[in-house]
Structure 1
Amino acid sequence: MTNSVDPNAEKQTQEATTNEVESVASEQAEPQNETSSDKPLELQVAELQAALAHAQQEAATEKDKALRIAAEAENVRRRSAQEVEKARNFALEKFAGELLSVIDNLERGLAAIDPNDESTKAIAEGIEMTYKGFMTTIEKFGMEAVHPEGSPFDPQLHQAMGMQESADVPANTVLQVMQKGYLLNGRLLRPAMVMVSRAPTEGVDVQA
């Protein structure tokens, strides 16, 4: 008796076997693919350290830029303040310089009046009051007189108009103030015109 084989059954058996093999191969391949895609820990750490160093460098660069901008802004502010101060001082110096002739005229007027003359006493008192009030006012704005009689000659503050021998004071002493000088906030507005002493030449052998 001959056994007959169903062709359909044999085909189904082969397909089932093929599917099992592919399934097993797929299960084995998946963990291998997953493992191969993961980076080593050392490499990950190195990449993170490189990223951190880059971020720190960028932060340092931005901080340096911010400091330079702040420094430049401070320099601009300081220069602007200096320019404003210079302009103010220039305007004040020019105005104060114009006042000096008024002060000189008041002083000449007082010097020309005889204090013992009763007919001009009231005029003298009026001029003196005006002069004192004027001087008090300019002092409030930083002006002060340079009246160095009896002081050593200072070329930074005084202008020598001549020299005179004197045995009573040391050489280079201011003997007489011919015109007062004035300072404005510590800066020279006008030097004092003075007569300066020099040592006597009597009894000194000047022959070569």
Structure 2
Amino acid sequence: MTETTENKDLVQEENVVTEETVEEQAELTVEEQYEAQIAELQAKLDDEENRHLRLRADFDNLRRRQQLDREAAEKYRAQSLLTDLLPVLDNFERALQVETTSEETASIVKGIEMVYRSLIEATEREGLQVIQAEGQPFDPNVHQAVMQEQDSEKEAGTVVRELQKGYLLKDRVLRPSMVSVNE
């Protein structure tokens, strides 16, 4: 009986050990499950934070672009009007080149000159500038070469004559100068 009792005691101890091990494993499994859930939630949180940061950066970029667009629109708001007025300025300049033969035509030319100066002052206040051409080196960004001439007194590539005035609005070319360039 002793052996049987000892065997029973051993079996009972093994059962107790096995039950404790199962409980420990169950506890570890629950802990591991919690850790897995925590890791999963942390990954989701990180993803959402990254998404939030990207959205915020996109929003900041959009706001910056809109601000630049508003500034450009404000800066060049008169572009359309000034472009439409360029032929009017050309016609005034042609009218002022007419020679006067009588006092009556001289007074008309004087009136035209006064209107022309007022118009030039108003356009200059909006940022319109005349492109300097004659005697300047040819610049394809602001000059449009329509002819070439031979002039030994000037360097090659220099504008000899301005055929039509060019204009800038602040830093933007509204109309390039039509010029004749020295060969």
With the length of structure 2 as denominator, give the TM-score of the two structures: 0.69
Matched residue, 1:127: 112
- Counterpart amino acid of 1:73? F
Please, which of 123, 142, 149 is the counterpart of residue 164 of structure 1?
A: 149
Deviates most, 176-185 or 83-92 = 83-92
Which residue matches 1:146?
Answer: 131
Whole-angstrom distance in 2 between the partners of 1:85 and 1:78: 11
The share of aligned pairs that are identical, in percent, is: 36
Cα RMSD of the aligned pairs, angstroms, is 3.7
Amino acid across the alignment from 1:101: P
Higher-Rg structure is: 1
CA distance in 1 between partners of 2:127 and 2:74 (Å):
13
Q: Say if 2:78 and 2:126, in contact at 8 Å, map to a contact too.
A: no
Cα separation, partners in 2 of 1:51 and 1:76, compared to 1, 3 Å: same
SS at match of 2:146: strand
Contact 1:113 1:124 in 2 (8 A): no
Instruction: Report which structure shows greater RCO (CA 8 Å, sep ≥6).
Output: 2
Q: Contact (CA 8 Å) 1:174, 1:195: kept in 2 or not?
A: yes
Uncovered stretches (5+) of structure 1, i.e. residues with no partner:
1-31, 199-208
Match of 1:15 in 2: none
Q: What residue identity is the alignment partner of 1:70? A: R
- 1:83-107 superposed Cα distances (whole Å, 9 cap, x missing partner): 7778788974332221011101111
Answer whether contact 1:147 1:177 (CA < 8 A) is retained.
no
**SS, match of residue 112 in structure 1:** coil
> Where does residue 177 of structure 2 map in the other structure?
192
Q: Structure 1 residues 112 and 147, CA, compared in 2 at 3 Å: closer, same or farther?
A: farther
- Residue-pair matches, total: 165
TM-score, length basis structure 1: 0.62
Asked whether the 8 Å contact 1:175–1:196 carries over to 2, the reply is: yes
Give the conservation status (yes or no) of the 8 Å contact 2:158–2:181.
yes
Structure 2 residue 80 is the aligned partner of structure 1 residue 94: yes
Q: CA deviation at 1:164?
A: 1.4
